[in-house]
Structure formats: structure tokens, C-alpha cells
Structure 1
Amino acid sequence: MSATHARKKPFLRLATAAVAMVAALGMAACSGGASTSSSSSSSAQVGDRSPEQIKEAGEIVIGIFSDKAPFGYIDADGKPAGYDVVYGDRIAADLGVTAKYVPVDAAARTEVLASNKVDITLANFTVTPERAEKVDFANPYFKVSLGVVSPTSAEITDVSQLAGKTLIVTKGTTAEAYFEANHPEVKLQKYDQYSDAYQALEDGRGDAFSTDNTEVIAWAIQHPGFSVGIKSLGETSYIAAAVKKGNTALLDWLNNQLVELGQENFFHKDYEQTLAPVYGDAATPDDLVVEGGVDTTSTN
């Protein structure tokens, strides 16, 4: 119990910093590095660029979450941080360029690619057939299923308990699509931002909240009084980087890099750096990490 309380304050500081700094990060995304981009982008727009054109520009633009600790958030110093950001930094390093991070909402992850706002989306992006019609996904680097968190005093342990109740979801997420398709008896209360969805749960505006199990487990650990009564719902899903539809040069580069990263167990190291301090014994890297772009534990 004491360890949980000890971790709560840093999490709250990060959450507060995320809300306070989203605007600043957005402004930086619009203005930061403008001279570099303008001098080199005449040959191709952001989103359409090949690895060589990105190298020429000296900068890669990556879409991330700014309010989804421990995967993508703004830390106490106002800087992008998290599991996806460590991966983004490595992509930039291997290209020999700097990373410019742009905050995105869950529902806008495909749009920012189609509208040439980013080269890559790394915002904890779950691969689905519907999304694959709009973007090109690289091979996966993480795997998840859905989870449901609720107040411990009224814990939801089975989906049947949600009938007629209000479930909080974030727009554009796998959870929203899953419950709309499979459980029309559940009333969905939708939010654009993860921070708003979690706040709604804390305020009692809904009976439970569903998103990736990795996220609700991390959040519940930091918030006494809440429990993940449903730890795995639906099929195993995979998270991958996404590029604009048709950008095969950048897609191939990402897939080749994943093979090289797998040889050094990069994502296990990323997990230990960013996720292990949050999950503790609640999960292991082998439960969640995909190395080399291939899930060797899959039976499919």
C-alpha cells in the first residue's frame, strides 16, 4: 500500500503537466524547427517523404499522445516522454535526424498522416482492418487486449454487469469500436482526450472506463480505490507504427529497423526503462513486448 501511495504523486504531477503543457507542445509542433523544414521540404511533403528525404530535411515529425502515461505524455519538465517516445527517439537516431513530436488525439491518428502533418504516428496505435484501409502499418512492437477499470467499491468483473450502465471510452479507440459492435446494451460516454476520460471516472460520471489493458492496469496501480476487474477482453491486438498510405519506402525502412532492434532486445529495454517502474509485478515484458516485428508467442 505504501509503495502505491509513493508512486501516486509522480503520476499526478505527470498528469497535471500533461494538461498544462499540451498547448505548449502544440505550439512547438507548429513553429519548432521551421527553418530546417522549409529549406529542405521542397522535394516532398511531410508524410510523403522517404527516409532519404527525411535525412535531407534533418528532422522527422512523429505523432504521439501527450496525455497517456506511461506510453506518451508530457513529463514534469514539459518534455515528451514514455514508451512510444523512446522508440521515436531511436527512429530519429538511426536516421541521423532530430525528432519533432506532435500531440494527437486518438480519433485523429489517421487524419494527421493523410493531411501530411506527421511522417509517422506512434500514438499507441492498435492495428485494425478498418484503420489499415487508411494507413500503412509497420510490423508490431507491442500487444494488448482491452481492460475495464472501475471503482473498487462497485467493481465491474464481467461485461454482463455493464448492461444498462455507463461505460467511459475515448473516441477513435479499439474500446469504442468493440463495445459498439458487441455490446449495444452498454451506454457509452465518449471523450476526446484520455485525461478527460480518466477524470470522468474519478468524478463518478460513469460506472467504468475501458481502453487497452496495459493502460488501465497502470492507471489503477497509481490510483487507490480503483481496480481492473476485467483484465483481458476481446482478442489480442497489436500496436504498430503507421505511415501515410502508399509510403512504402518509409514503411520498409521501419520494418527493417524492427528486425535490427529485435537483435538487441530494444523493446525489452524500453519496457524496463518506461513501463516496469509503473507495472511492477503486475506484468512482464514478455507478456506485452514484440521484438523483431514478430509475436513469437502467437499460436496463429
Structure 2
Amino acid sequence: MTFTRRAAMALLTAAALASPLAAQTPDEIKAKGNVNVGMLVDFPPFGVMDASGQPDGYDADVAKLLAEDLGVQLTIVPVTGPNRIPYLLSGQVDLLVASLGITPERAERVDFSEPYAGIAIAVYGLADVDLSAPEKLEGRTIGVTRASTQDTAVTAVAPAGATIQRFDDDASAVQALLAGQVEAIGVSNIIINQIEQVAPGRFDVKFDLSQQRQGIAVRPGSDALLAEVNTFIEKVKGDGSLSAIHEKWLGSPLPDFVAEAN
């Protein structure tokens, strides 16, 4: 195959992925007896591969409940951050349960359900140190992962007299906190739950920096399917099933900013 032909085929493939199909309906999914759900498998604890090489995690458990609610079989299709929306728009999956944060930019391309999960970023530090507001970081040392969401958020609110120590990854920032090299860190609720498992009571959340809600995504105009998904989310919030999944994978109940969102 010549380079020109390869390039042409690549362009055709990209165009196919970028061209959205018609809206999906729940009746179509039920008629085929199967729902194809796109899911990240490299974003623990939301998406992982288990010991037998099967998709697992928070999102997988939610997808299983959704398929059961629809009365169909479930096929989880591994996706990546960049290709998850193209997979949905091109029909390779029926919907996404893929840790997709609800943002205005994404809402121009897909239709989002009510939130079923969320990630909160907070300042988290020594329990006996009063850091209850940004101004109280004055004269303190706070760790963040370099160029991360928490780096941006902490930098935006920290007073001039605060020292922001940047690390290459979350693990290094956490180690610095445990070792007493910093008094607090900017970190997600996922990492906070992990710290609480190894050092219960030593630290607490000082103040929130940001919150991102995650929604199940469907193709634009899939109003009937979206309504059915929202009814499902309302049900599993109400009966405690979603909070139980959150407890299983994140070690805490469903956060209020997700549970009470509508």
C-alpha cells in the first residue's frame, strides 16, 4: 500500500469517527438484547482490568446495573480518554460510562445524564493544623502534583507567603505529607481515601478547591434513552445501590455534591 493510499484511508477512518450517527433509542438497544458501553480501563478505581483480564471498577459496576435495568446483556468496550467520544458518535458504543466529566465543551458534542460520580479536589493536611481557608496557608508549605488540576487550583488561591512544593506525581506528594515535609497537599478525594486507609485520623480535609461531576453520555438527540438513564440514576441513588458501589471502590459514601445533584 502506498503512503498516499494509507493516508487517504486514515483520513476516511477519522472522518467516520467524527461523523455522528442518528440518535439512539432504548427500544433499539432492547431489541438487539445488548448494550455496548464504552469504559476507561486505565483509570483506577473507576476503570481497571481485573486479574482475569476483564474490565472492572466503579464504572463497570454502574454499567452492569444499567444493563440489568435495561434488561439486556452488557458488553464493555475499552476506550481511551481521546477516543471515547468519537467511539460514541460513530456508533461503536451505545453510551459511555467512562469517567467523563460534565463540561460545557463536551456538552456541545454529547448529551449528559445526571451525575453518577464525581471527583473533588481539596486541600488536605495535618489534623491539628488550622488551614480552614486559603489565607491560612500563609507561611505554610503545601504540596501538589506538578501541572495538575490541584496545582492550578492551589496556585490560584494561595497567598504570596505560602510555599507551594511541586512533585512529579501524586505518590510523591503523598509521601511528602506522610513524612512531614509538607503540612498539606492539594489532592483528589480518591487519593484522600487511600491515605485514610494507611493513616486514619492523622489528616483531614481543610477546604474544597473544585468539584467535577461525571455523567453517562449518549449521542445527541437521544432524548428517550437519556430519560431512561436518568430514571435509572435516580433509582440507584434512592435505593443506596450507587452509594454502595462508591463505598466498595472509594471507601466512602457517594459525596453530597453528586448525590444531591439534579
Shorter chain as normaliser: what TM range?
A: 0.5 to 0.7
Pick closer, same or farther for the CA change 1:128–1:257 going to 2, 3 Å: same
Compute the displacement of 1:182 (Å).
Answer: 5.9
CA distance in 2, matches of 1:81, 1:265: 20
Instruction: Tell me which residue corresponds to 1:261.
Output: 236
CA distance in 2, matches of 1:112, 1:47: 14
- Give aligned pairs, total: 220
TM-score of the pair, normalised by structure 2: 0.63
Which structure has the larger Rg over C-alpha atoms?
2
CA distance in 2, matches of 1:229, 1:257: 34
Percent identical pairs in the alignment equals: 27
Partner of 1:110, secondary structure, is helix
What is the identity, as a one-letter code, of the residue corresponding to 1:84? D
Instruction: Tell me which residue corresponds to 1:84.
Output: 59
What are the residue-to-residue correspondences of 1:112-127 with 2, within 5 Å?
A: 112-127=87-102
Q: 2:46–2:57: 8 Å Cα contact kept in structure 1?
A: yes
What are the residue-to-residue correspondences of 1:123-138 with 2, within 5 Å?
A: 123-138=98-113
CA distance in 1, matches of 2:89, 2:207: 32
1:295 aligned onto 2:261:
yes
What are the residue-to-residue correspondences of 1:146-295 with 2, within 5 Å?
A: 146-147=121-122, 167=146, 169=148, 175=149, 213-220=188-195, 233-272=208-247, 274-275=248-249, 279=251, 283-287=252-256, 290=259, 294-295=260-261
Instruction: Tell me which residue corresponds to 2:130.
Output: none
Instruction: Identify unmatched segments of 5+ residues in structure 2.
Output: 1-19, 125-133, 158-163, 175-184
Instruction: Identify unmatched segments of 5+ residues in structure 1.
Output: 1-44, 150-156, 170-174, 191-196, 203-208
Instruction: Tell me which residue corresponds to 1:8.
Output: none
Instruction: Tell me which residue corresponds to 2:28.
Output: 53
CA distance in 2, matches of 1:82, 1:254: 19
Q: 1:46–1:117: 8 Å Cα contact kept in structure 2?
A: no
Pick closer, same or farther for the CA change 1:223–1:118 going to 2, 3 Å: farther
Instruction: Tell me which residue corresponds to 1:75.
Output: 50
User: Structure 1, residues 200-242: CA drift from partner, whole Å, max 9, x if none?
Assistant: 989xxxxxx987x233234556789xx9998765333322111
User: Structure 1, residues 147-183: CA drift from partner, whole Å, max 9, x if none?
Assistant: 589xxxxxxx97x9789x97154xxxxx39966x969
Instruction: Tell me which residue corresponds to 2:10.
Output: none
CA distance in 2, matches of 1:140, 1:55: 23
1:142 to 109, 117, 128: 117
Compute the displacement of 1:131 (Å).
Answer: 1.4
Partner of 1:141, secondary structure, is strand
Q: 1:47–1:113: 8 Å Cα contact kept in structure 2?
A: no
Structure (1/2) with the larger helix percentage: 1
Pick closer, same or farther for the CA change 1:200–1:87 going to 2, 3 Å: same
Following TM superposition, the consecutive aligned residue runs of length 4 or more in structure 1 with deviations greater than 4 angstroms are 160-163, 176-179, 197-202, 218-224, 227-233, 286-289
Instruction: Tell me which residue corresponds to 2:86.
Output: 111
Pick closer, same or farther for the CA change 1:269–1:142 going to 2, 3 Å: same
CA distance in 1, matches of 2:79, 2:186: 19
